[in-house]
Amino acid sequence: MKKSIKIFMAILVALTLAACGNENNKKSSSSETKTTQKSNVSKESKKTEQSSESSSSSSSSSSESSSSEVSSSSQSGPQQAKVTGDNNTQRMAQIAGALKYFLGKDALVPTKAGISSGVVNAYYTGDGNNFTVYYIKDTEGKNFNDPSLKDKVSYITFSKKTYGSEEEAEQAVNYISGESEMGLPKVPLSGNVNATLNSGAGQRYLHWNSGKWSVTIHGTAGKDPVPTGRKVVALLNNAYLPAPESRGAASFTAGSGSGNQKIEWNSGKAVYTIKGSNINSLIELAGSIQK
Secondary structure (3-state) at 177 = coil
What's the pLDDT at 257? 57
* Residue 136 · residue 88 · CB < 8 Å: no
Q: For 39-66, what is each residue's pLDDT tens digit? A: 443 444 444 444 444 444 443 333 333 2
Question: Does the structure show a pLDDT above 80 at 154?
Answer: yes
Amino acid code (one letter) for 157: T
- Contacts with 134 (C-beta within 8 Å, 6 or more apart), sequence order: 122, 123, 124, 125, 149, 154, 157
Lowest mean pLDDT among 120-134, 198-212, 237-251: 198-212
Element (H, E) at 210: strand 203-210
| Percent of the chain whose pLDDT exceeds 90 | 62
Distance of CA 1 to the CA centre of its chain: 118
| Percent of the chain whose pLDDT exceeds 70 | 71
* Residue 245 · residue 266 · CB < 8 Å: yes
